[in-house]
Amino acid sequence: MKFVAILVVLISLNNTASAADTAKTPTYGPFEGSGYVSVQGYQEISLGTGRWYVAYQGNADTSPAWVEAAWSARSAQLCKSVGHFVALRYVSEAVGLRDEELADVSASVPWRMVDTASPVYIPIFTPSGPRTIVPLTAPSRLGAIRCISDPAILKDPSRAIGVSEAMSEALRQGVAVPP
């Protein structure tokens, strides 16, 4: 009887260690909040037609290269129907050849838009209740993207990333992206 009890304790300790190792293994999926098992995953915000702000949060055991590949994979999933995406340096970056021309106000209009500085208030949601704080050492990748169908419309076509190219790199880094 004593032997069985010791065996049960050893098996449960082994399962606990296995579960802890699984929690440390990077997994690709949506960010589920600050849970006990996983504080990693992707989130996105639509910025308009063909524009997204994509974030991928890793855990302390995730390599920055893996997080970068997972971020690119999520960006590729969002732009799958068009074929390419470009990572923007800032949200409203004009990357296309005609972007500035289209944004310019016509001279026939009696008013003219002038760039001015003013505060921009961004609401911040502060959750209440118990939560796990993500360690500061956890890598993450945040950035805006723009989906494009033809890289030739870009000022710098070399910045375009193909959907299949991003998915191939994700596979090389070990990111298991569901179909």
Among candidate residues 115, 71, 67, 75, the one with its CA nearest the CA of residue 92: 115
Give the pLDDT score at 9. Answer: 41
Given a contact cutoff of 8 angstroms between Cβ atoms, the answer to whether 54 and 113 are in contact is: no
**Residue that the structure tokens 């993207």 belong to:** 145
With the CA atoms of 69, 159, 92 and 59 taken in that order, what torsion angle do they form, in degrees rounded to the nearest 10? Answer: 10
pLDDT tens by residue, the chain, 179 residues: 554 444 444 444 444 444 444 456 778 888 876 555 557 889 999 998 899 999 998 887 888 999 999 999 999 999 999 999 999 998 888 888 888 776 665 545 555 555 666 676 666 666 565 566 554 567 888 999 999 999 999 999 999 999 999 999 999 999 988 87
> How buried is 82 (Cβ within 10 angstroms: 0-12 exposed, 13-18 middle, 19+ buried)?
middle
